[in-house]
């Protein structure tokens, strides 16, 4: 079996039962790391989205001004233009544009004026990505979000699930936090 077929099969298996995700959206994906862009792009394309990639904020801004996107996904830490600056410029042009920021620097984002609609902390799993996308892309708003949360067992609380590797750590910390 070819490597791409193995990746596709693994990604398909990550979909929760009953998953009702938005389809056929145009997504602008911005990250300076080609491998990260390719990985996220693969997932998005397997979910039937059209993905346009940019390696930096200036290229993304140029693409955004020339085209329509249902969602912009941007990394935070990039050369030339940081993700929050890109988001601010996009929001000046189109205030209602949904923007998702992905970053390994969540603690740095808390102190910034950040006009994004969602933040996903790296590393993240596919279900976390799909849940955030469903929330941001859903035209039906809470109805779509509730369906996806119910399908993944997350309930109706507006929180993103922790990655599976963190769930056991959170369970261990839970008794400590109540003392």
Assigned architecture for domain 3-177: 3-Layer(aba) Sandwich (3.40)
Q: What pLDDT is stored for residue 65 in this prediction?
A: 95
pLDDT value at position 155?
A: 42
Let me know how many helices (H) and strands (E) the chain has, helices first: 8, 5
**89-139 pLDDT, tens digit each:** 999 989 999 999 998 887 777 667 788 988 899 888 888 998 888 888 774
Q: Which residues of 7-28 are buried (b: 16+ CB within 10 A; e: fewer)?
A: eeeebeeebbeebebbeebebb
Lookup: tokens for 39:
């990985």
Question: What stretch of H or E contains 27?
Answer: strand 26-30
pTM of the model: 0.67
pLDDT at res. 107: 73
Supply the pLDDT for residue 126.
85
Per-residue pLDDT tens for 61-93? 999 999 999 999 999 999 999 999 999 999 998
Name the token pair of 111. 């102190």
Tell me: the pLDDT tens digits for 11-58? 444 555 444 556 689 999 999 999 999 999 999 999 999 999 999 999
Sketch the domain layout of the chain as residue ranges.
3-177
Alpha-carbon distance of 114 to 84, in angstroms, equals 6
Query: Does 156 or 37 have the greater pLDDT score?
Result: 37
- How far apart, in whole angstroms, are the C-alpha atoms of residue 35 and residue 176? 39
């Amino acid at each position: 079996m070819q490597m791409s077929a193995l990746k596709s099969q693994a990604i398909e298996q990550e979909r929760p039962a009953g998953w009702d995700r938005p389809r056929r959206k145009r997504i602008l994906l911005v990250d300076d790391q080609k491998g990260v862009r390719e990985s996220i792009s693969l997932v998005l394309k397997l979910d039937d989205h059209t993905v346009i990639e940019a390696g930096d904020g200036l290229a993304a801004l140029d693409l955004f001004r020339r085209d329509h996107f249902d969602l912009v996904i941007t990394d935070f830490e990039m050369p030339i233009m940081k993700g929050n600056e890109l988001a601010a410029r996009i929001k000046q042009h189109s205030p209602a544009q949904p923007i998702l920021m992905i970053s390994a620097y969540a603690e740095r984002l808390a102190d910034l004026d950040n006009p994004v609609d969602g933040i996903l902390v790296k590393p993240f799993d596919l279900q976390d990505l799909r849940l955030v996308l469903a929330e941001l892309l859903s035209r039906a708003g809470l109805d779509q979000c509730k369906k996806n949360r119910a399908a993944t067992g997350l309930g109706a609380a507006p929180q993103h699930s922790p990655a599976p590797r963190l769930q056991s750590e959170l369970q261990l910390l839970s008794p400590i936090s109540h003392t």
